Amino acid sequence: MIRVLFAATDGRWEEYRTVLPAALAAAGLEADLSRDHAPEVVDYIVYAPNSPLQDFSPYTRAKAVLNLWAGVEDVVGNDTLKIPLCRMVDAGLTEGMVEWVTGHVLRHHLGTDAHVLGQDGVWRAGAPPLARDRRVAILGLGELGAACAAALAALNFRVSGWSNSAKAIAGVETAHGAAALPQVLAGAEILVLLLPLTPATECLLDAAALGHLPQGAVILNPGRGGLIEDAALLAALDTGQVAHATLDAFRVEPLPPGDPYWAHPQVTVTPHIASATRPGSASRAIAENIRRGEAGEPFLHVVDRARAY
């Protein structure tokens, strides 16, 4: 019997208490999922970083911690975590992100806001350029970024991508390393942030980086709030260096009612909905990693502690 500890909030437990056992059974695993296993009998920990569990040292038998979220910045630095940590990568999460990013890129590309909000009797003539003439840049070419880049390229956008290490994506011009970032930013009429939050990416989009963007660029951030230096972005919005920012992730969530982003006319706030972990597909991803662990196969999506993602 494989003992799986579910270490997450009450709400998450209600979402997973039936679908995760079903996924484990479908994977051919005889598993006991519980929130109350004694630490010394636990084989795997299904985990959300906002769980009360913060000390992993009593879990001497556990083989892996399987994160329910794509982001691991709130757990990767935990000194008591010595076993493999696997981030969540699942088809539903990827599809949701592609839909959000594609929808908002098209919204800004087509100038939809002016037509939807400007129902004031003014005939605003002029068509947008074709997608083939619109430059979109994506920072971060992991699972989510690569999928979004490919989807936008399929719509004929001129897509460039930037990452820490070299990547190759059909139809996308890629670059990597710090030296290449200013040039990628300079070609970004619409900029999408999909980097993980690490010490190297904290406040990556600061005043200097914003200054490399073409005048009137649009920023979409469905990644992590800490990628942006908030004061610098607000200043760039006020000067028109950045025409609009559509933000889905913030340093503090929920975004406090008095935060300047709420009131800024050139900011759209969405409540961290760009992509959510869906219990059905996430459960299948967790079950596959437990199956692999029991079969002696390598775990999928193991976090590199040195890179923090």
Q: What is the DSSP letter of 134?
A: -
What is the tens place of the pLDDT at every residue in 46-63?
999 999 999 999 999 999
- Local structure of 290: helix, strand or coil: helix
Question: Which residues fall within 8 angstroms of residue 186, CB to CB, at 6 or more apart?
Answer: 212, 213, 214
Q: Is residue 304 part of a domain?
A: no
Indicate whether 206 and 148 sit together in one domain: yes
Q: Among the options 12, 109, 224, 284, which is catalytic?
A: 224
Gyration radius from the chain CA atoms:
21
Run of H or E including 3: strand 2-7
Q: Measure Cα distances from 298 to 61, 94, 125, 288, 290 in Å.
A: 18, 22, 57, 11, 10
- Local structure of 282: helix, strand or coil: helix
Indicate whether 210 and 199 sit together in one domain: yes
- Give the pLDDT score at 120: 77
Q: Is residue 303 part of a domain?
A: no
What is the tens place of the pLDDT at every residue in 255-307?
999 999 999 999 999 999 998 889 999 999 999 999 999 999 999 999 999 88
Per the prediction, the chain carries an average pLDDT of: 96
Indicate whether 60 and 199 sit together in one domain: no
Q: What is the DSSP letter of 131?
A: G
Rounded to whole angstroms, the Cα distance separating 91 from 81 reads 27
85 band by pLDDT with thresholds 50, 70 and 90:
very high
Could you tell me the CATH number of the domain that includes residue 177?
A: 3.40.50.720
Q: Under a CB-based contact definition with an 8 Å cutoff, are residues 196 and 225 in contact?
A: no
Indicate whether 256 and 109 sit together in one domain: yes
Q: How, if at all, do strands 44-47 and 64-67 pair?
A: parallel
Indicate whether 118 and 221 sit together in one domain: yes
Amino acid residing at 92: G
Q: How many domains does the chain have?
A: 2
What is the tens place of the pLDDT at every residue in 141-174?
999 999 999 999 999 999 999 999 999 999 999 9
Active site residue 3: no
Burial label, 54 (beta-carbon count in 10 A; 0-12, 13-18, 19+): exposed
Q: Is residue 22 part of a domain?
A: yes
Helix, strand, coil: what percent of the chain each, to 5?
A: 35, 20, 45
What is the tens place of the pLDDT at every residue in 220-259?
999 999 999 999 999 999 999 999 999 999 999 999 999 9
Q: Among the options 135, 272, 291, 292, which is catalytic?
A: 272
Mean pLDDT within 85-97: 94
Reference 160, options 179, 141, 177; nearest CA is: 141
| pTM as predicted | 0.90
Indicate whether 163 and 46 sit together in one domain: no
Q: Is residue 49 part of a domain?
A: yes
Q: Is residue 80 predicted with pLDDT exceeding 90?
A: yes
Indicate whether 99 and 204 sit together in one domain: yes
Domain membership of residue 73 as a residue range: 2-90+277-295
Give the whole-number percent of the chain exceeding pLDDT 70: 100
Q: Under a CB-based contact definition with an 8 Å cutoff, are residues 39 and 164 in contact?
A: no
Active site residue 224: yes
Q: Is residue 301 part of a domain?
A: no
What is the tens place of the pLDDT at every residue in 118-147?
677 888 888 999 999 999 999 999 999 999
Rounded to whole angstroms, the Cα distance separating 67 from 60 reads 18
Indicate whether 107 and 78 sit together in one domain: no
73 band by pLDDT with thresholds 50, 70 and 90:
very high
Give the whole-number percent of the chain exceeding pLDDT 90: 91
Rounded to whole angstroms, the Cα distance separating 298 from 288 reads 11
Rounded to whole angstroms, the Cα distance separating 144 from 95 reads 9
Mean pLDDT within 72-78: 95
Q: Under a CB-based contact definition with an 8 Å cutoff, are residues 287 and 26 in contact?
A: yes
Q: Is residue 306 part of a domain?
A: no
Indicate whether 263 and 127 sit together in one domain: yes
* Positive/negative CA dihedral, 39, 288, 307, 275: negative
Rounded to whole angstroms, the Cα distance separating 169 from 144 reads 13
